[in-house]
Amino acid sequence: MPLPLITDDSLFPDAPTIAIKQLEAVWFQVGGTICNLRCHHCFISCTPENDKFKFMTLQMCRRFLDQAKELGAKEYYFTGGEPFANPDMIDILELTLSKYGPATVLTNATILTEEKLTRLGQMATANEHHLEIRVSLDGYTRDMNDPIRGPGTFDRAIAGIKALVQHGFQPILTITRTWNDCDEKVLKGFVALLAGIGYAQPRLKILPSIKLGAEVDRTSGYTETDRITHDMMQQKDPAQFLCHTSRLVTDQGVWVCPILLDSTHARMSDSLQGAMHDYPLRHSACYTCWQHGAICSNNTTSCTTANN
Ligand code: SF4
Ligand code: SF4
């Protein structure tokens, strides 16, 4: 008999807590839960119709950037939903890069217009702070990607990646592990694909699937064995957890991290200053962080083997 699935109403009561050491990175849910795609593994179930979290405006972002600066934050991440669906996105990036620090945008690269690409290229060269682009793609063929991300998404994302490379970017490709093959074979497939569109020595990042949102219907959710105990935390350096050094800001306040956006228990405060306190790792998704470390960071998978 399968183990009962864990929902937001059945959190582990005696979970260990994690302190925030120093606010180093701030994540912006700048695209809300609105996305032009409707991927079957999206752990916050973004779709064109899902406006549970709305776009963040330039004014909202400026308020949180000021708070972050006061707290000593060093870098900024912009996610969604699809950030480039937000009409303020280019202005938000220009503000961040010119006055606050380095920025990373997580995009599906399917709605990048020539005008946006040109402005992105200009701001990347005009500012001392670095602009990083991360593109999600889940297969090195149409047959591998499109069943997960939707018909036609492979061709559209490849066109977006090619255009980014032509505008001087070296995007990080993020790939959710949805295959049964060994990683090496998949990495080799991606390297060959990207070489064919002019992106030599690509930067690749493999992510574990997070069993929340739409992913629960595609595969399965977490069970009661997926939890962090006090003993398990003894074996881990807290620096391995994103919530030790960062917070997520949204149009509805501050959350502990981007993974738990759909959990009302993960809302911490109206302000970043109010969210600088310990957090209990009582959600089953925390177990994925315990297994895989800071999965949201920009660290990439080594491609040495895949290049051979
Ligand atoms: S996984 Fe990314 S691209 Fe896909 S629906 Fe979710 S936010 Fe959009
Ligand atoms: S899901 Fe991960 S980042 Fe979020 S609170 Fe749990 S351990 Fe921290």
From 37, 134, 261, mutation site for ligand 1 pocket: most ligand atoms within 8 A of C-beta: 37
- The answer as to whether 83 is a domain residue is yes
Q: For residue 203, is it within any domain?
A: yes
- Nearest ligand 2 atom to alpha carbon 279: 5
Cα separations (Å) of 151 from 159, 163, 210, 213, 247? 15, 20, 22, 20, 34
CB of 37 closer than 6 A to ligand 1? Answer: yes
- The pLDDT value given to residue 181: 75
State the CB neighbour count (10 A cutoff) for residue 136.
24
Q: Any idea which ligand is nearest the CA of 257?
A: 2
- 232 belongs to a structural domain: no
Is residue 283 included in any domain, yes or no? no
User: Which of 45, 108, 161 is the best mutation target for the ligand 1 pocket, counting ligand atoms within 8 Å of the beta carbon and taking the most?
Assistant: 108
* Per-residue model confidence as pLDDT tens for the chain (308 residues): 555 555 565 577 789 999 999 999 999 999 999 999 999 999 999 999 999 999 999 999 999 999 999 999 999 999 999 999 999 999 999 999 999 999 999 999 999 999 999 999 999 999 899 999 999 999 999 999 999 999 999 999 999 999 999 999 999 999 999 887 788 999 999 999 999 999 999 999 999 999 999 988 888 888 888 889 999 999 899 999 999 999 999 999 999 999 999 998 999 999 999 999 999 999 999 999 999 876 677 777 643 333 32
- Is 118 a member of any domain? yes
142 found inside a domain = yes
Please give the C-alpha separations between residue 266 and each of 24, 50, 216, 254, 280, in angstroms, as whole numbers: 19, 19, 19, 9, 9
Q: Name the residue at shortest CA distance from atom 2 of ligand 2.
A: 286
Burial class (CB in 10 A: 0-12, 13-18, 19+), 74: middle
Cβ of residue 39 lying under 6 Å from some atom of ligand 1: yes
CATH of the domain at 85: 3.20.20.70
Query: Per the structure, how many domains does the chain have?
Result: 1
Residue 11 inside a domain? The answer is: no
Residue 1 lies in a domain: no
Domain residues for the domain of 139 are: 22-222+244-277+295-307
Q: Which ligand is nearest to the CA of 297?
A: 2
